[in-house]
Structure 1
Amino acid sequence: MAQRNDGNPSTNRETENALFEAVRKGFPVEYVDLLLEMRGYLDELRVEDLKEEKAPSTAHSGSRKVSSSGGTLLHVAVRRGNLEWVDKLPGMGASPTLHRDIEGYTPLTLAERMVELNPLDNTYKAVLSALRRVAVDATSVRGGKEFLENVLAEIRTGHTLINSNLSQMRDNQKASNDLIRELVENYALMVARMETLSTTPLRILKSLESHASDLKQKVGIIKIRSDVDHEKTNCINEMMQKTKIKGATYEKIDYARELYSNLYECDVLTSSLLHYLQNDESLSVYIDCTSENIEDIKPQYKNIDGEVFTGDKDSMFADREENRVYLAALMTSYFGKDIIMSRFARALAMLAINNLYHNEGRPYSIEDKGSLAAFQEAMAEAVAKKDKIPKNHPYVSWAVGMKTSLGRESRLAAVPIEYVAKFGSVQGRELMKDHVPMLLRFYEENVLPKLQ
């Protein structure tokens, strides 16, 4: 164990120099350079810990004072909130997810813990964002490597088949030469054999052409799937960055991520909505996973009709003025995940349409007379059919039942999103075509292209 600072400069310098000499023998030059920046903390480090690539941790008080609970140099950087170290160490080989300290934390989970303990300290939030970027980049590299390995496997298979066919062609060519020598002596035999030889190379070439086409198609499919998975992961990560979860735990974070993932995979209407919102820098989402209402995260609010409500009256609210969504996401026997998803999707759609058209939440621009006429026609259809729609599909009747014209238009514009989020893409679209087909057509022709 390194000696503590006893206040004697000469003694401390000797101890410090001895520690560096010991570390230099077992560490790359880059690590020694980094340790030179850590002179202020050397009296807290153990030579044995450093050789094993460990460093001190902190107590759970949130203090930045170093103790000796173990970990890598990246753990030290996270606990100190030193963003410069966190940016530098991954480039030198440190992993945010591979090693754990004696408390069981990886650098990434430790960064999440430090944010929980120090919610007002932006330094820890910056450290967590940096580590998440490194982890996402590492995942992308692994996915890219797997993709390339699959492509190489396909190419090797095709190469083997091509070699086999070429070998067969060479064998056929040798047989042809032998036959030609024989045919010189026997014209009748030559004619018969030539008919056979004329078809064999063509069949082989056609087989090669067919396999090459299949291989090209497979490679294309693999690339498309890889690109789609990357876009989905990036979109969900961006939305999670905008999301604040009350009393966040790993389980609650996974639950919120699952909501976004289900919406993304549901239908092109919902995936396009998330792609649009991921680029909205002012958007924020507040989720309470422990309640059926939003009272704890939004005690009071004014709805689009101008009516004032308390948070215990609703499980969702889209705040157009603050560009925020509030969601109570506790699943119960009544509120299943499909209902929570439909309400969440509705709130996100209302904010997206509000920001897309800048017309108080209406799904058309003030100067766009064509879209206005099309939406008024769809609304007239909804009003005429509202009593014919089954009671267990209340979205249209809720929308046209709003007290003001602004409330009716804003709420009705989000109905297609509610349908596919609640019932799935196939059933949701079928129900829309049966209940209010003009509204679905309006959304697909006017709103969806702008979101994309």
Structure 2
Amino acid sequence: MASYISTSSAEEIVEERLISGLLTGSLLQHKKLLEMLKDVDVRHARQRTLLHVGVGHGKTDWVEELLARGADTDVTDDSQQNALCSAEEMVRQFPDDIERSKVLNLVTLVHRRGQVILRRLEASSSRSADHVTPVASPECDIASLKSSSPQVLIVRQLSSSLEELKAEVCALDSGLRCLEEGVKSTLEDMTSVNFGLGGESAVRTPPPDPATARLECVDAMLRRTTIVHGNGIEVMRRLYERLYDGDEYTACIIKFLCGDDRVKVMVDSDSCNIGRMKEKFVRLDGTHWNGSGWRTFCDFKSETVYLGANDCSGDNDTVVCANLAWALSQLSLKLVFDNEGKPYSKGDVEREREWMLSVMRALEDAEEWRKRGEELERSIDLALNMKTLKAKVCWLAAAVPWIIAYYGSTEGRAILQQQVPLFLSLYSNNVMGKLLASAKR
């Protein structure tokens, strides 16, 4: 049975470190802490157990370990969701996430075993008192077994069941890899040779090598860039190359925008702000601002990005690059979804509901982060402080490439996974693929 936290401060530290490790760390680094945990079903924020958290973040290895240690799939949080309901909800939200599907399979398997054991206990208790059931013993009667969590009994059978599930998953992965290789081979054949109606073949021009593709993409972005003040063309080339090379989160933005003739980037390379190019503007939440106080801005009406790129060297180079990623991200979302920077198309009620739900959960996670005395990353904090929910959605989506560009791929992803994990997963599944699929290069 789950219990409320009423242990010593040492145990509370263990629990806090496990929560933090579950969100950001590897299972192997935290197994000793799990050994120190007296109650695997101890409740945390919003009455969630470690199993709830692991399921919510799609951590297959953690979920498997917690179930093996007897975590109860029937414990509900303050929204009355148990681990199975939560796993099903995650798969509905992220249907293409393989890890969340694996988590659902694990939780479903254990939950069903628990129900089977309970039914057997009920059947056994109705028999004659002289009849000894397979799970009964002189020291432990049926009533006491029924009063305990069925997961205690499941642990005895779980190892073999998990191995069976692993074998099934491995077989499925192997099949998918074979299919992927077959499709890739077919596409390569179709790309290299185009068969005409008369049976004659025409050799197509092979795709450019990565270096050439990169050069063409950056050159295309430079053609869409106007240096309004100063001489910053080489600075902009370096910034575009940095976004292209930095991480797939930023690269997909450049790859999409370089093929869209509507893109316009206006640069003041002699100033750190955009005041000389854009004296006044209105943010998405309706508030009015002076351009002299802003380094960058995306104007959806004119489909133009404004950037102040003065002193683009050292740490400031990183700041300018992140600002550029932020504004270009908003423009790419506007152009590909045609919805004022929101990461879903107009009229797509289901997708809008997913994003709004993700933002609300990000708000909850942010509040928990603050309660622990932690400081939110600045771009996330700015997004959550916007005055309208739709503006929060737009700015939070743009915060993803900003953080990646500023902190680098590894550290940036870790920050996002810590502070807005559900939003990051939704961005990965629904934005990046859409941008790459719509790219013309």
Which structure is richer in relative contact order (CA contacts within 8 A, separation 6 or more)?
Answer: 2
TM-score (norm 1): 0.48
Q: Of the two, which has the highest radius of gyration? A: 1
TM-score (norm 2): 0.49
**Structure number having the greater helix percentage:** 1
